[in-house]
């Protein structure tokens, strides 16, 4: 019997102790009309059979030379990361409610929180949220709790924020009466201009979301945007790529030299680039960090360092009174389980790579994307969409609709990027492409040659 260890002697002895004839008797409190017959499910497979099945399915998916980013980035993952993260002691443990028997997981989370604070420059981090998109939704809800000067529950949402994050924020935060004001971007530079905010001057907004680098891969002028927000009593929610933080200014310093002398208030984002595989979109993890003054408005679990009865240092979950199992309908969020194992992987990744390693990954990714853009824009019918500064992703304009081109490239084993037609029809035939550190010059040449070939055919 699959995963059931009982021998027939065990079963007999156990039924005897319980005082029933058969296992069926144990279900005699269930109204009999509710019991179902055999379900229409496939018969059991052995491990060998299921292994073959999955190998066949995997082969059917194949491997592509991938140039898609758009929120999920293909970085090299050191072998040690998942070799350790999948150890049974991490993999098969529960949330660390029994602190004394969970010091391993708790210390990992404390170290993770410390590293996240170091990367973002913020004072406190939680133990993770589900993913980057839902982390932004939670950040919007948190901003409503934290910004007591605002009563509007309105959030300024630039269109340069990942469009799926915007949809998820609507789906999750919309039920609590939070509304979003869309802010358009500059067509030349592909970023949010300060002038586009002036029309909101003096209005009541709870928060503004600033994504750096933005969805197009371009750099926003975060300092002046942050300063404007704070002058208008608007909290700043930063959405950042953790790898980019090796090169780009930490959100706690955004706008700090401006009039309001204040950095971002809530920082969140997708943790996937820190050692988590692409894996069809999940499980990833969302991160969130903030100022100490808002710690009680922050959702999710938090680990603190304390002492035991012998005065020895140890770790435990803290600030639990904010959470659903105590505060119930008044909790900061209903979140309980988050993405612990992915956080474990990310903590190992950050330890192995250190600041220097992450900086190298960021630099190599930027360099490869530069090379990619240069190679592709040298092809007739391809030009860059924007003039601004960028990180490791870029928008290119083709001389014809993108989808058929991508399909042809896929036929040659190349994923050429993301077609932006659905999210940004006004950009025309726009393609979002990315080359991280894992790409070689040869890979880039392969893509460029294939694209040149495809575009040389009549569309």
Partner 1 sequence: MNDIPADLHYTTKHEWLRRLPNGQVEIGISDYAQNALGDLVFVEVPEIGRRLRAGEACAVVESVKAASDVYSPISGTVVAGNAELASHPELVNLEPYTAGWLMRMEIDAPEPTLLDADAYAKHLAIQVR
Partner 2 sequence: MSELPVHPGLELREALIFSLSRPGRAASTLFPLHADAVQITEQVLAQIPMHLRRRIAPVLPEVSELQTVRHFTRLSQMNFSIDTQVYPLGSCTMKYNPKACNTYAMLPEFMARHPLGPETQGFMSCMFELQEMLKEITGMRGVSLTPMAGAQGEFAGVAMIRAYHRSRGDLSRIEILVPQAAHGTNPATASMCGCSVKEIECDANGDVDLGALQAAVGPNTAGIMLTNPSTLGVFERKIVQVARIVHEAGGLLYYDGANLNAILGKVRPGDMGFDVVHMNLHKTFATPHGGGGPGSGAVGVGARLLPFLPIPLVGCEGSRYRWMSERDLPHSIGRLSGFMGNAGVNLRAYIYMRMLGRDGMVRVAEFATLNANYMMKRLTAAGFEAAYPNRRASHEFIISLRRENSLFQITAMDVAKRLLDYGFHAPTTYFPLLVPECLLIEPTETETKQDLDRFCDAMIAIREEMQQAPEKLLTAPHTMPVRRLDDVRAARELDLAWKPVG
Binding site for partner 1 (CB under 8 A): 148, 296, 318, 320-322, 326-327, 330
Report the alpha-carbon distance of residue 19 to residue 25 in Å, rounded.
10
Q: Is 384 in the site for partner 2 (CB under 8 A)?
A: no
Closest CA to 273 of 148, 114, 392: 392
Residue placing its CB nearer to partner 1 in the complex, 327 or 383: 327
Q: Is 44 exposed, middle or buried (0-12, 13-18, 19+ CB in 10 A)?
A: exposed
Within 8 A by CB and 6+ apart from 301, the residues are 95, 109, 126, 127, 128, 317, 323, 336, 338
We find the least distance from the C-beta atom of residue 85 to partner 2, in angstroms, to be: 8
Q: How many CA atoms lie within 13 A of 109 on its CB side?
A: 32
Residue placing its CB nearer to partner 2 in the complex, 133 or 376: 133
We find the least distance from the C-beta atom of residue 297 to partner 1, in angstroms, to be: 11
DSSP 45: -
The binder of 206, among partner 1, partner 2, none, by C-beta within 5 to 8 A per type, is: none
Within 8 A by CB and 6+ apart from 235, the residues are 143, 146, 147, 150, 206, 207, 208, 229, 265, 266
Contacting partner 2 within 393-412 (CB under 8 A): 410
Q: Is 309 in the site for partner 2 (CB under 8 A)?
A: yes
Chosen residue from 8, 21, 195, 328 binding partner 2 by CB under 8 A: 328
Chosen residue from 202, 330, 426, 457 binding partner 2 by CB under 8 A: 330
Report the alpha-carbon distance of residue 417 to residue 406 in Å, rounded.
8
Q: What is the largest CA-CA distance in the chain?
A: 83
The binder of 205, among partner 1, partner 2, none, by C-beta within 5 to 8 A per type, is: none
Length of the chain counted residue by residue: 459
Report the alpha-carbon distance of residue 192 to residue 220 in Å, rounded.
7
Report the alpha-carbon distance of residue 65 to residue 67 in Å, rounded.
7
Q: Is 1 in the site for partner 2 (CB under 8 A)?
A: yes
Contacting partner 2 within 418-457 (CB under 8 A): 418, 437-438
Structure tokens at 4: 């059931």
Chosen residue from 26, 149, 194, 374 binding partner 2 by CB under 8 A: 26
Contacting partner 2 within 83-142 (CB under 8 A): 84, 86-96, 98-105, 107-111, 113-119, 121, 123-125, 127-128, 130-134, 141
Chosen residue from 180, 231, 319, 446 binding partner 2 by CB under 8 A: 319
Structure tokens at 187: 């067509």
DSSP 379: S
Structure tokens at 173: 């935060």
Helices 103-120, 340-377: crossing angle, 10 deg rounding: 40
Residue placing its CB nearer to partner 2 in the complex, 96 or 158: 96
The binder of 306, among partner 2, partner 1, none, by C-beta within 5 to 8 A per type, is: partner 2
We find the least distance from the C-beta atom of residue 354 to partner 1, in angstroms, to be: 35
DSSP 403-422: HHHHHHHHHTTEE--EE-TT
Contacting partner 2 within 224-253 (CB under 8 A): 245-250, 253
Residue placing its CB nearer to partner 2 in the complex, 185 or 285: 285
Residues in contact with partner 2, shown as a per-residue x/- string from 33 to 72 under the rule CB under 8 A: -xxx-xxxxxxxxxx--xx-xxxxxxxxxxxx-x-x-xxx
Bridge partners of 4?
none
We find the least distance from the C-beta atom of residue 259 to partner 2, in angstroms, to be: 15
Residue placing its CB nearer to partner 2 in the complex, 334 or 459: 334
Q: Is 301 in the site for partner 2 (CB under 8 A)?
A: yes
Contact (Cβ atoms closer than 8 angstroms) between residue 208 and residue 222 = no
Kindly report the backbone phi and psi dihedral angles of residue 265, in degrees, each rounded to the nearest multiple of 5, phi listed first.
-100, -40
Candidates 179-187, 203-211, 300-308, 441-449: pick the segment binding partner 2 (CB under 8 A).
300-308
Residue placing its CB nearer to partner 2 in the complex, 194 or 410: 410
Report the relative pairing of strands 313-318 and 207-212 from DSSP bridges. unpaired
Q: Is 82 in the site for partner 2 (CB under 8 A)?
A: yes
The binder of 183, among partner 2, partner 1, none, by C-beta within 5 to 8 A per type, is: none
The binder of 322, among partner 1, partner 2, none, by C-beta within 5 to 8 A per type, is: partner 1
Helices 132-146, 163-173: crossing angle, 10 deg rounding: 50
Chosen residue from 370, 381, 412, 449 binding partner 2 by CB under 8 A: 370
Report the alpha-carbon distance of residue 112 to residue 129 in Å, rounded.
13
The binder of 10, among partner 1, partner 2, none, by C-beta within 5 to 8 A per type, is: partner 2
Contacting partner 2 within 182-211 (CB under 8 A): none
Candidates 25-33, 203-211, 225-233, 443-451: pick the segment binding partner 2 (CB under 8 A).
25-33
Kindly report the backbone phi and psi dihedral angles of residue 120, in degrees, each rounded to the nearest multiple of 5, phi listed first.
-90, -15
Residue placing its CB nearer to partner 2 in the complex, 34 or 201: 34
The binder of 163, among partner 1, partner 2, none, by C-beta within 5 to 8 A per type, is: none
Q: Is 8 in the site for partner 2 (CB under 8 A)?
A: no
């Amino acid at each position: 019997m699959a995963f059931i260890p009982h021998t027939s002697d065990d079963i007999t002895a156990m039924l005897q102790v319980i005082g029933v004839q058969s296992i069926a008797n144990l279900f005699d409190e269930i109204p009999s009309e509710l019991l179902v017959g055999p379900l229409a499910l496939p018969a059991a497979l052995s491990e060998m059979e299921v292994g073959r099945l999955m190998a066949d399915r995997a082969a059917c998916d194949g491997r592509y030379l991938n140039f898609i980013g758009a929120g999920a980035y293909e970085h090299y993952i050191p072998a040690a990361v998942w070799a350790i993260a999948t150890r049974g002691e991490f993999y098969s443990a529960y949330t660390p409610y029994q602190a004394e028997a969970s010091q391993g997981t708790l210390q990992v989370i404390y170290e993770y929180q410390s590293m996240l604070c170091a990367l973002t420059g913020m004072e406190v981090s939680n133990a993770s949220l589900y993913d980057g998109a839902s982390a932004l939704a939670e950040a919007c809800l948190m901003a409503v709790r934290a910004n007591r000067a605002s009563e509007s529950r309105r959030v300024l949402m630039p269109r340069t924020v990942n469009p799926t994050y915007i949809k998820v924020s609507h789906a999750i935060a919309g039920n609590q009466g939070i509304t979003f004001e869309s802010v358009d971007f500059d067509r030349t530079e592909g970023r949010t201009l300060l002038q586009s905010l002036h029309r909101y001057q003096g209005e009541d907004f709870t928060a503004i979301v600033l994504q750096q680098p933005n969805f197009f891969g371009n750099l926003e002028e975060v300092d002046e945007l942050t300063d404007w927000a704070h002058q208008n009593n608007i909290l700043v929610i930063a959405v950042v790529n953790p790898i980019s933080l090796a090169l780009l200014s930490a959100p706690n310093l955004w706008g700090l030299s401006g009039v309001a002398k204040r950095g971002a208030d809530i920082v969140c984002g997708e943790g996937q680039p820190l050692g988590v595989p692409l894996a069809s979109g999940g499980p990833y993890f969302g991160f969130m960090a903030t100022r100490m003054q808002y710690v009680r408005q922050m959702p999710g679990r938090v680990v603190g360092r304390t002492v035991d009865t012998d005065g020895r240092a140890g770790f435990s979950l803290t600030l639990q009174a904010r959470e659903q199992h105590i505060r119930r309908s008044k909790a900061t969020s209903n979140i309980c389980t988050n993405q612990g194992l992915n956080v474990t992987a990310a903590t190992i990744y950050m330890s192995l790579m250190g600041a220097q390693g992450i900086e190298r990954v960021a630099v190599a990714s930027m360099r490869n994307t530069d090379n990619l853009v240069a190679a592709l824009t040298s092809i007739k019918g391809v030009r860059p969409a924007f003039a601004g500064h960028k990180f490791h992703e870029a928008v290119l304009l083709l001389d014809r609709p993108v989808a058929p081109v991508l399909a042809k490239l896929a036929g040659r084993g190349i994923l050429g990027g993301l077609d932006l037609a659905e999210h940004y029809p006004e950009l025309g035939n726009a393609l979002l492409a990315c080359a991280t550190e894992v790409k070689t010059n040869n890979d880039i040449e392969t893509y460029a040659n294939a694209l040149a070939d495809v575009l040389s055919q009549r569309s």
